Amino acid sequence: MATEQVRAAGEADLEQVTETLWLAFQGDPLWGWAFPEHSKLEPWWRFLITSALRHRWVWFLGDYAAVSVWIPPDCDELTHAQERQVDGLLLGLLGSRATQVIELLARFDAAHPRDRPHYYLSLLGTHPDRRGQGLGMGLLAENLARIDRQRMPAYLESSNPDNVARYEAKGFEPTGEFSTPDDRHTVCGMWREAAR
């Protein structure tokens, strides 16, 4: 990662950032369950990323090889107006399946810690063509160094059990699990204490 520059994303980067994350989540067990037709995941990611860009904590590496989407402390992932759009957006994308995905999102929300301000890692992904080079974890390490300078904790959910150990190596510890409404997939909440 030494030659890759970390940059903050702006509105002009929306297309490339969305594409990297959409491609990165091909094969993800949880989001594959939620969006069996993978093309439908792209507008959902675009919706979330568009909202997150206003916080100026969306980062990318080099030529969009890896992307992270953070929600800073005391900030909302979605505006109130966007929250009112979620059900209709998911219904349009998923039809009757939207009910289960809306229930899954409610489980994400219920598991999210609210007792302490923290940075929330909403999305992290590496472009499939660049996997295996440590770029995603390198971007995460760079972001965590910024957070450590602020002496803030961080929280994430791992939608893929294969990634839990990677996050543990960066100082995150599991806080609990929740499952999809049909109990087929599990999500692991993870917390990283503030640097001392």
Q: What residues does each domain of the chain span?
A: 6-153
Please tell me the distance from the alpha carbon of residue 128 to that of residue 26, in angstroms, as a whole number: 9
Q: What is the pLDDT of residue 196?
A: 81
Q: What is the pLDDT of residue 3?
A: 59
C-alpha triplet 54, 60, 63: angle, nearest 5°: 130
The model carries a pTM of 0.96
Residue type for position 75: C
- Show pLDDT as tens, one digit a residue, over the chain (196 residues): 445 799 999 999 999 999 999 999 999 999 999 999 999 999 999 999 999 999 999 999 999 999 999 999 999 999 999 999 999 999 999 999 999 999 999 999 999 999 999 999 999 999 999 999 999 999 999 999 999 999 999 999 999 999 999 999 999 999 999 999 999 999 999 999 998 8
Please tell me the distance from the alpha carbon of residue 31 to that of residue 22, in angstroms, as a whole number: 10
Q: Specify the fold of 6-153.
A: Aminopeptidase (3.40.630)
Residue pair 128/24 in contact (Cβ under 8 Å)? The answer is: yes
Q: What is the pLDDT of residue 152?
A: 98
Residue 176's DSSP bridge partners are: 189
Whether the CA torsion 168, 44, 59, 132 is positive or negative: it is positive
The closest alpha carbon to 68, from 114, 135, 2, belongs to 135
Please tell me the distance from the alpha carbon of residue 169 to that of residue 156, in angstroms, as a whole number: 14
Q: What is the pLDDT of residue 175?
A: 98
Whether the CA torsion 123, 53, 62, 118 is positive or negative: it is negative
Please tell me the distance from the alpha carbon of residue 33 to that of residue 159, in angstroms, as a whole number: 11
